[in-house]
Structure formats: structure tokens, C-alpha cells
Amino acid sequence: MKRCQNDKKTLTVRLNRIAGQLNGVQKMIADDAACEDVLMQLNAANAALHRVSLMVLEDHLRHCVREGIEKGQADETIENFADALEHFARIS
């Protein structure tokens, strides 16, 4: 399933922001920033990554799962979605 250009752009912007946050954390560690500050930034990056994961899961449900069911591949589609949910649950 090909992803819509707007979705790609949104996800790319969010992932670039997360990469920037992580680069900032590396700099904080190199500069001996307070542990509490580093943890706060790591938590922010983790929350942002969780949100991107949720967006991908939602896109999968709205597009890929719907398409699979419409094509008459309900059992396989549901199994794939269950696998996707399991992967999502591991990062939550």
C-alpha cells in the first residue's frame, strides 16, 4: 500500500524533529547536563516516537486493513493487523 504524500511529509517532519531531540540529548550528555534534564528530553523524544508509531498503526488500520478486507482477504488481514498491534504494544 502506497502512503499518501501528506502522510509521508507529516511523518518525515515528526521523525526529523525526534532526531533533533536525540541529537540534543547527545549534546547534553557530552556537556554533562543534569540527569533530570536528560531524562526529561528522553521522555519527550520517546513520547514523540510513540505518537509516530500510533499514526502509522492508525494509517495501517484505515488503509491497509480496509483494503485487505475489501479484497476478500479478511483472515490474513486480521492476522497482519494483530501482528502490528503486538509490535505496537511492545513499544508502548
CATH of the domain at 69: 1.20.58.1000
State the residue range of the domain holding 73: 5-91
pLDDT number for residue 91 = 79
Specify the pTM.
Answer: 0.81
Query: Which residues, other chains included, contact 75 with Cβ-Cβ below 8 Å and sequence gap of 6+?
Result: none
| Number of domains within the chain | 1
Q: State how far Cα 48 lies from the chain centre.
A: 8
pLDDT classification of 92: cutoffs 50, 70, 90: low
For 15-74, how does the pLDDT look when each residue is reduced to its tens digit (9 = 90+)?
999 999 999 999 999 999 999 999 999 999 999 999 999 999 999 898 889 999 999 999
10 half-sphere exposure, CB direction, 13 A CA radius: 12
25 touches 41 (CB < 8 A) = yes
